[in-house]
Amino acid sequence: MPDSSEKPNPVRGDPAWVAPALTREEKTRNVGKTPVFFGPPLAILTDGHKNTMEISGKLNRTAERYLEMLRYHGLELTEPERLCLIHICNIGFMSPLEIRELPIEVEFTKFSCDGLDKVALAAKLESASFADLVAVVESIGF
């Protein structure tokens, strides 16, 4: 006999319902409407979409795919390599062009520390895909 103090699980349509694919941590987050500035990349991404639900859907699908991409891409970095990239990326925002030029930046940086092989790091970055480079930049917080 079930305990009468147990609450039934919410179902789709109930405001408390959360998609089962979410992790326990994601279930506790507060998701609501947020004003977003649509700069050129978002304007291009949502061009042709006329209503809020279409735009929201496009943004959420794109973000979900981007997060999956980050999950499966990246590079194994040593701590000295990581410190070097943090130093380079410390300019703040990294444009796609700047991300593509990371191997060149490694070659020209004056940054050095024990255990850093800039030639090897530049070669590692040069052979990486753009998705790998983006994942690296994201992983170090830029």
Residues 67, 100: contact at Cβ < 8 Å? Answer: no
User: Cα separation of 85 and 101, whole Å?
Assistant: 12
The amino acid present at 82, given as its one-letter code, is R
3 has a pLDDT exceeding 90: no
From residue 21, alpha-carbon distances to 24, 26, 27, 81 in Å are 10, 9, 10, 35
Whole-structure pTM value: 0.72
Instruction: With CA atoms as reference, report the closest residue to 100 among 68, 129, 142, 141.
Output: 129
Instruction: With CA atoms as reference, report the closest residue to 91 among 111, 77, 74.
Output: 111
Predicted pLDDT of residue 38: 86
User: Cα separation of 46 and 54, whole Å?
Assistant: 8
pLDDT in tens, 105-130: 999 999 999 999 999 999 999 999 99
Predicted pLDDT of residue 24: 64
CA 31 to mean position of chain CA atoms = 18
pLDDT in tens, 14-45: 666 656 666 666 656 666 777 888 899 999 99
Q: Predicted confidence band at 93 (pLDDT cuts at 50, 70, 90)? A: confident
2 has a pLDDT exceeding 60: no
Predicted pLDDT of residue 17: 62
101 has a pLDDT exceeding 90: yes
Q: Considering the chain, what percentage of its residues have pLDDT values greater than 70?
A: 80
Predicted pLDDT of residue 37: 84
Q: Predicted confidence band at 80 (pLDDT cuts at 50, 70, 90)? A: very high
